Chains A and B, each alone.
Chain A
Amino acid sequence: DAKTTQPTSMDCAEGRAANLPCNHSTISGNEYVYWYRQIHSQGPQYIIHGLKNNETNEMASLIITEDRKSSTLILPHATLRDTAVYYCIVTGAGSYQLTFGKGTKLSVIP
């Protein structure tokens, strides 16, 4: 069973905020939400992760709902270089396994 559900694709205008949603309704209390992205023909790149609280770093912000059943990755000012497949992953403490689903293909449009 898929642990996360993401839209297949999204478009975003260059310079605007990109908001990528993820549903993880069966998340457990000790499971983290991770976001990675993969630009074509490259290895996945770590973006951000969180447990309960909202998180922000130099790349993005992560908003997790209070019930933790969904989250949103926000790229505040999308550029053409942000065009990639974005993966939302739920993984537990002590787990070495990252299960990448199909992700969301984000296209940033000039």
Chain B
Amino acid sequence: DVKVTQSSRYLVKRTGEKVFLECVQDMDHENMFWYRQDPGLGLRLIYFSYDVKMKEKGDIPEGYSVSREKKERFSLILESASTNQTSMYLCASSLIFSPEEQDTQYFGPGTRLTVL
């Protein structure tokens, strides 16, 4: 079974703090993703990575950065947390990225971040 783990289930931070969210997958997947989920807005893609040290912006990258130094680990960084970044953050991974094929994304349990 694919296992995607996230460093925290719940996190409370203060405005202006630098926040690190960690995600680890154990299936040697090439691709990793960070989403946020908000009521009424569904899942929105923040960043994704298709290889070590490679990253691409998703739909809402502003206020976030990412790091992928090792294949199994993908970090989401909030440089200066703000209250509008209070959300559920979801990490996912998938095996391949090809124009000809569709691949399944597997999600972690999520981190519920509250910024006060």
Q: Enumerate chain A interface residues (CB-CB to B < 8 A).
A: 32, 34, 41-46, 49, 91-102
Contacts of B112 in A (CB 8 A): 41
Contact status B42-A94, CB under 8 Å: no
Contact status A96-B97, CB under 8 Å: yes
Q: A43-B90, A46-B104, A49-B102 are in contact. Are A97 and B45 (CB under 8 A)?
A: yes
Q: Enumerate chain B interface residues (CB-CB to A < 8 A).
A: 4, 31, 33, 37, 42-43, 45, 48, 50, 58, 90-92, 94, 97-102, 104-110, 112
**Main SS at interface, chain A:** loop
Contact status B99-A45, CB under 8 Å: no
In whole angstroms, what is the CA distance A45 to B37 when docked? Answer: 14
Contacts of B58 in A (CB 8 A): 97
In whole angstroms, what is the CA distance A5 to B58 when docked? Answer: 24
Q: A100-B42, A102-B42 are in contact. Are A95 and B110 (CB under 8 A)?
A: no
Contacts of B110 in A (CB 8 A): 41-43
Contact status B43-A94, CB under 8 Å: no
Contact status A93-B105, CB under 8 Å: no
Contact status A32-B102, CB under 8 Å: yes
Contacts of B91 in A (CB 8 A): 43
Contacts of B108 in A (CB 8 A): 43
Contacts of A100 in B (CB 8 A): 37, 42-43
Quote the shortest CB–CB distance from A88 to chain B (angstroms). 13
